[in-house]
Structure 1
Amino acid sequence: MSIDADRFRAVLGHFPSGVTIVTGIAKGEPVGFTCQSFSSLSLDPPLVVLLPSLSSTSWPRIADTGRFCINVLAEHQGGLSTRFARSGSDKFSGVAWTTSSTGVPVLEGACASIDCEIEQVHPGGDHLVVIAAVVDLAADSARGPLLFHRGRYARRADVHEA
């Protein structure tokens, strides 16, 4: 049975995801890309999994350094997500960022930042499966997350306990 790519994307788009920007430093310059395919993997040891596309031009530059930061975007950062999803532009122009303890960019205003070092990389169809060790992390619980659902940005629905 053959699954049409558009149908696959549409059906799986019903599962909402957070939005991240993966950042690093390559040859002294900041580099980054938008990535929805991210998840925690293990508590002991602390590991995450990231799934960059094989077509990414930013990921190979970041991978060469062995370290990166996953910036979990806040609900007001949809424009930043769109900017970092495009290839060939100066993505960091006018973007406020600081440097993490391992020397990679941390985007200001994000909900959370997760500083990582690459442990393993495996093939996964048209993506790579990157397993990374978490070396540092921080969060601002006052910020709500940017979500992506059915092909567009969405707002979170707060859940209140009864």
Structure 2
Amino acid sequence: MTVEATALRAVLRPHASGVAVLTAQGEDGPAGVTITSFTSLSARPALVSFALADTSGTWALVRDAEWFGIQLLGAHQTELAERFATRGADRFAPPTGWHSGPHGVPLLDGCLGWLVCARQQRSRVGDHHLVVASVEHVREGAPGESLVHLHGRLRPVTSTTASRI
């Protein structure tokens, strides 16, 4: 039995996903993309994963990068998430604040936290590429509320919402 994409989307729309930005340094400069497929896989060793679609313009850079950053976005960063989700946008131009982190990985300012990761495995899975990475550096940002993707929109998770969970 094959599940239709529209049926799958209808079932998954009410499932909230955390919003992050994946960044890497390429030969032509920094690149990045908003992702909602990020997850923690293991604490020992520290492993995370994410998936990018075949159609992602950032995939070629990520495929070849040994190091990349994962920025966990706060509720105040909806515009940043949208900028990094927009094809053709100059994502690192002002007003985006960023700096070079460990291993030259571009890190965005104002995030809830940052991970600098080394690629361990990648494989094609359906119409996406799954990447498993080891976490080599972490840094906490300012405290704040998370940004999630829910019902096809970016939404803040407030303390009120979180306390009801």
Q: Please state which band the TM-score falls in when normalised by the shorter chain.
A: over 0.9
Counterpart residue number, 1:104: 105
Deviation by residue 1:20-62 (Cα, 9 ceiling, x = unmatched)? 1100110151100011001001111110011111111112113
Counterpart residue number, 1:54: 54
Q: Which amino acid aligns with 1:84?
A: F
SS for the counterpart of 1:83 is helix
SS for the counterpart of 1:129 is strand
Q: What aligned pairs does 1:45-84 form with structure 2 within 5 A after superposition?
A: 45-84=45-84
SS for the counterpart of 1:91 is coil
Aligned residues: 161
Instruction: Show structure 2 runs of 5+ residues with no match.
Output: none
Residue 32 of structure 2 corresponds to residue 25 of structure 1: no
4+ aligned runs moved over 3 Å, structure 1: none
Counterpart residue number, 2:121: 120
Partner Cα distance (2:79, 2:123) in 1: 31
Counterpart residue number, 2:162: 158
Partner Cα distance (2:32, 2:62) in 1: 8
Deviation by residue 1:134-160 (Cα, 9 ceiling, x = unmatched)? 010112351111111111122211327
The two structures have a TM-score, normalised by structure 1, of 0.93
Q: Percent identity?
A: 33
Residue 9 of structure 2 corresponds to residue 9 of structure 1: yes
Partner Cα distance (1:99, 1:144) in 2: 25
